[in-house]
């Protein structure tokens, strides 16, 4: 789930009035983001849970990994990379991807390390969940797919990864959509104690840092994930088929190690790899993000998340924030695909 900072349009094209009623957009920030009049005009309307599959599923060697990913849209279209979080997978974007493809974008949705069909190329590679390592995976995937520059969008781990790429490699990031905003942190900030109520929200971090927690997550990973889905999106009435479609991604042989290492590393209870030290040092300085950005939040996000005002100044380029109403929780792309796709088009065309 997303860290708090330092630890701590309006009409959608072709959307029925009933959809608007459940996904109102509240706009704020330095940019008066207006609907794009070009690609977005071609975007068809989707309601949540319309799609249960992708146009194509592929594999490619990229850096340390053989990455499983979904692809949709024209091969020569402007690239959009959609990044999922924990405990979620590429199906968070099953409705978003065809919307963007219908507007002319080449859409790439990868399984992160430790999820789905993504595998390490070597059994000797350390199963590292450091945020900087996941960001390097994204750059490696772009290189393998010969994508020089892309619009990046994500939530949870995916938002953090997109933030990091935008901050450290702005030349590779055309624009950014980040649910819950600025999620770049550091191991040192993660060591700082929080008030008890805030610590309670992060209970699983401490659980994962123990042998009992790692064994428990391994044994009950599907039950664990369903609990997080329910608490992070308390008003999302997902069905068993929707959950099961994503839960199969957690059967990846490296999943438990990647997840538990990531959260243990964040609070200083696990070591990372020295080769990422320079990147982590730069991230610890909380670098500003200069690329055009739209941040988003659901009005019923039950996961710990910062308030928009806490991070707005970290985005020094063209910027706006949107709060999506109608009981939208943490998994915003899957719960409100139309609003999410619209934000991607708007920022990509800005």
Q: What is the pLDDT of residues 26-61, one digit of tens each?
A: 433 333 333 445 566 667 666 787 899 999 999 999
| Nearest-angstrom CA–CA distance, 168 and 12 | 32
Rounded percentage of the chain residues whose pLDDT exceeds 90: 83
Q: Is the pLDDT of residue 319 over 90?
A: yes
For residue 22, name the pLDDT band (cuts at 50, 70, 90).
very low
The pLDDT value recorded for residue 48 is: 80
**Which phi and psi angles does 331 have, rounded to 5°?**
-85, 65
Crossing angle (nearest 10°) for helices 211-219 and 221-232: 90
Average pLDDT over residues 223-250: 98
Average pLDDT over residues 287-310: 97
Average pLDDT over residues 284-299: 98
Please, what sign has the CA dihedral across residues 66, 227, 193, 298?
A: positive
For residue 207, name the pLDDT band (cuts at 50, 70, 90).
very high
* Mean pLDDT estimate for the chain: 90
**Which phi and psi angles does 4 have, rounded to 5°?**
-80, 155
Q: How far apart are the first and last CA of the chain?
A: 29
Residue 21 domain boundaries? 17-348
The pLDDT value recorded for residue 306 is: 93
Q: Which residues of 174-208 are buried (b: 16+ CB within 10 A; e: fewer)?
A: bbbbbbbbbbbbbbebbeeeeeeeeeebbebbebb
Average pLDDT over residues 96-117: 98
| Nearest-angstrom CA–CA distance, 123 and 114 | 13
- Residue 74 falls within a domain, yes or no? yes
- Residue 108 falls within a domain, yes or no? yes
- Residue 2 falls within a domain, yes or no? no
- Residue 4 falls within a domain, yes or no? no
Average pLDDT over residues 90-104: 98
Q: Is the pLDDT of residue 243 over 70?
A: yes
- Residue 10 falls within a domain, yes or no? no
- Residue 11 falls within a domain, yes or no? no
Q: Are 42 and 73 in contact (CB under 8 A)?
A: no
Q: Is the pLDDT of residue 9 over 80?
A: no
Q: Which residues of 265-294 are buried (b: 16+ CB within 10 A; e: fewer)?
A: bbbebbebeeebeebbebbeebbebebbbb
Average pLDDT over residues 236-241: 97
| Nearest-angstrom CA–CA distance, 333 and 268 | 31
Q: Is the pLDDT of residue 19 over 80?
A: no
| Nearest-angstrom CA–CA distance, 9 and 263 | 36
Least confident of 37-51, 132-146, 210-224, 320-334: 37-51
Please, what sign has the CA dihedral across residues 278, 284, 288, 292?
A: positive
Structure-block tokens of residue 192:
């700082």
The pLDDT value recorded for residue 77 is: 98
**Which phi and psi angles does 185 have, rounded to 5°?**
-135, -160
Q: Say what the pTM is.
A: 0.89
Average pLDDT over residues 87-110: 98
| Nearest-angstrom CA–CA distance, 268 and 246 | 29
The pLDDT value recorded for residue 49 is: 77
Count of H helices and E strands in the chain?
Answer: 15, 10
Q: What is the pLDDT of residues 116-175, one digit of tens each?
A: 999 999 999 999 999 999 999 999 999 999 999 999 999 999 999 999 999 999 999 999
Provide the number of structural domains found in the chain: 1
CATH of the domain at 203: 3.40.50.1820
- Residue 29 falls within a domain, yes or no? yes
Q: For residue 5, give the nearest of 297, 226, 232, 346 by alpha carbon.
A: 297
- Residue 3 falls within a domain, yes or no? no
């Amino acid at each position: 789930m997303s860290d708090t900072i330092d630890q701590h349009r309006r009409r959608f094209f072709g959307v029925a009035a009933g959809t608007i009623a459940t996904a109102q957009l509240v706009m704020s920030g330095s940019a008066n983001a207006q609907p794009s009049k070009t690609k977005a005009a071609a975007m068809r309307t989707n309601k949540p849970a319309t799609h249960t599959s992708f146009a194509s599923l592929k594999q490619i060697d990229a850096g340390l990994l053989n990455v499983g990913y979904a692809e949709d849209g024209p091969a020569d279209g402007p690239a959009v990379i959609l990044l999922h979080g924990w405990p979620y997978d590429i199906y968070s974007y099953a409705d978003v991807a065809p919307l963007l493809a219908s507007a002319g974008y080449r859409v790439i949705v990868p399984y992160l390390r430790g999820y789905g069909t993504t595998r390490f190329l070597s059994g000797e590679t350390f199963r590292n969940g450091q945020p900087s390592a996941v960001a390097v995976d994204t750059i490696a995937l772009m290189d393998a797919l010969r994508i020089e520059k892309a619009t990046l969008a994500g939530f949870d781990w995916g938002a953090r990864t997109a933030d990091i790429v935008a901050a450290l490699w702005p030349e590779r990031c055309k624009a950014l959509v980040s649910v819950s905003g600025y999620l770049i942190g550091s191991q040192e900030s993660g060591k700082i104690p929080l008030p008890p109520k805030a610590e309670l929200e992060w209970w699983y971090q401490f659980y994962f840092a123990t042998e009992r927690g790692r064994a428990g997550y391994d044994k009950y990973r599907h039950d664990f994930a369903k609990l997080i889905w329910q608490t992070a999106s308390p008003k999302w009435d997902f069905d068993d088929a929707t959950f099961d479609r994503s839960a199969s991604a957690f059967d990846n042989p490296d999943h438990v190690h990647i997840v538990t290492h990531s959260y243990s590393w964040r609070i200083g209870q696990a070591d990372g790899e020295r080769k990422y030290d320079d990147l982590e040092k730069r991230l610890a300085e909380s670098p500003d993000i200069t690329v055009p950005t739209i941040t988003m939040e659901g009005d019923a996000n039950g996961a710990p998340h910062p308030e928009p005002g806490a991070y707005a100044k970290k985005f020094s380029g063209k910027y706006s924030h949107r709060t999506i109403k109608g009981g939208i929780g943490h998994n915003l792309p899957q719960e409100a695909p139309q609003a999410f796709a619209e934000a991607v088009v708007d920022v990509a065309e800005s």
